[in-house]
Amino acid sequence: MPTTPRTTARRPLRSVFVALLGALVPLLAATVLTAPAATARPAKAAAALTEVTNFGTNPSNLQMYLYVPGNVTAHPAVVVAVHYCTGSGPAMYSGTEWASLADRYGFVVVYPSVTRASKCFDVSSPQALKRGGGSDPVGIKSMVDWVTRTYGADTSKIFATGISSGAMMTNVLLGDYPDVFAAGAAFAGVPFGCFATTNGSEWNSECANGTISHTPQEWGNLVRAAYPGYTGPRPRMQTWHGTEDDVLRYPNFGEQIKEWTNVLGVSQTPAATDSPVAGWTRTRYGSTGDRAPVEAISVQGVGHNVYGSGMAARALTFFGLDSSGPGPQPQPGACKVTATTSAWSTGLTGSVTLTNTGTSSVDGWKLGFTLPSGQTITNGWGATYAPASGAVTATNVAYNGTIAPNASVTIGYQANHAGNSAAPTGFTLNGKACT
């Protein structure tokens, strides 16, 4: 159970100005960020913010704050709410609606808190941009593991959200730990890998200024490189951005859409566009419902302080935590696979045809599948195969990396077998299940 609680009272914030990198980045010394207005909390509520220590591996000395509502459900969902630069876990608790929403719906909220001088999360170092590489993502993953152990949390309902630096960390967490997080909501962030540096600096001016642009495939490759070989389902992404953001400029909004539509294997053409609030333009990619694979909300005329009252509730709807019904089931990818084998005594040849059933081209592909027990690939063509047995990933070669809509590519392999010469099963295209 948690250590002896150190509680923080929630109170309205008048005006908290935060300089994005403080003295560490003179370039931004004049830049300020206003913390979101606090949400009033019922006076009689017994739950309080608690600091948890000794929660697990924590290479960058993060603090862990936890909010468990009095009506916490059995096997609760978990929301990781990540603060902005020079903020803190307690400030995120006081200044956002996540604790009030937890009171209503019974989930647990984790508030990571930075202890380094800048109070910014590490979203730039090589260690941060690799699964298990070290730095802040490892500590946050340990917090999630602690809550899962202590409260029997539902591991299929782990979510991340954040503002500014926390929004950037949301992108990083979903890239580093796609097997942990089901979805994320990023308020005024940048794509995974955009802030990367190799000189120890926490700040990347090119990314902040919106001058870094990649193809969707290039962005997607950065995410996939964080966890090489992973072929499981990928978390959904909701991203918010103000059109007048002068800290993490607006082009980063479009780059995030390019990145996550590619990662999730859906078209960059919106499946739905609407304006749920005056001045908002909401686009959904991959499907039209509240829990589309990617949802993007552009807020007209608003600067870096895009987060406002009511937005957390909309993120909660995207997560699927505002109802008692089941969460969204993984949707089949826009692909179809047929596979056959031809066997002899101890060997076989396999043929796999992948068809793009979507409306946009696939630029670069990884086809995951599972070989029957006892089969080992000895040779292949049309793709590179690794590993040779079990859960295999076939990666395109130079001449067949692009598959147009309704087009197909056929690959093949030779394998040894120990009696079971059946065709492979469980096909995924870039992490998303095929029919």
Task: For residues 276 and 282, give the distance between their C-alpha atoms in angstroms, rounded to a whole number.
Answer: 7
> 3-state secondary structure string, 183-227?
EEEEECCCCCCCCCCCCCCCCCHHHHCCCCCCCHHHHHHHHHHCC
3-class SS of residue 52 = strand
Catalytic residue among 60, 94, 100, 164: 164
Q: Quote the tokens at residue 376.
A: 């080992």
Q: Quote the tokens at residue 66.
A: 């936890």
Task: For residues 338 and 353, give the distance between their C-alpha atoms in angstroms, rounded to a whole number.
Answer: 5
Amino acid identity of 72? V
Q: Quote the tokens at residue 296.
A: 């993007």
List, as one string, the DSSP characters of 96-143. SSHHHHHHHH--EEEEEE--STT-----SSTTTTSTT-SSHHHHHHHH
- The question of whether 275 is a catalytic residue gets the answer no
Kind plus residue range of the DSSP H or E element containing 252: helix 251-263
Task: Judge whether 176 and 186 are in contact, CB under 8 Å.
Answer: no
Of 164, 169, 238, 172, whose CA–CA distance to 208 is shortest? Answer: 164
Kind plus residue range of the DSSP H or E element containing 159: strand 158-163
User: Which is it for strands 294-299 and 335-343: parallel, antiparallel or unpaired?
Assistant: unpaired
Look-up of token digits 């993060």 = 62
Amino acid identity of 319? F
339: Cα separation from own chain's centroid: 32
Q: Quote the tokens at residue 31.
A: 């830049």
Greatest Cα-to-Cα distance within the chain, rounded to the nearest angstrom: 77
Task: For residues 80 and 181, give the distance between their C-alpha atoms in angstroms, rounded to a whole number.
Answer: 10
Task: For residues 354 and 410, give the distance between their C-alpha atoms in angstroms, rounded to a whole number.
Answer: 6
Task: Judge whether 179 and 156 are in contact, CB under 8 Å.
Answer: no
How many other CB atoms sit within 10 Å of the CB of residue 3?
Answer: 11
Residues with a catalytic annotation lie at 164
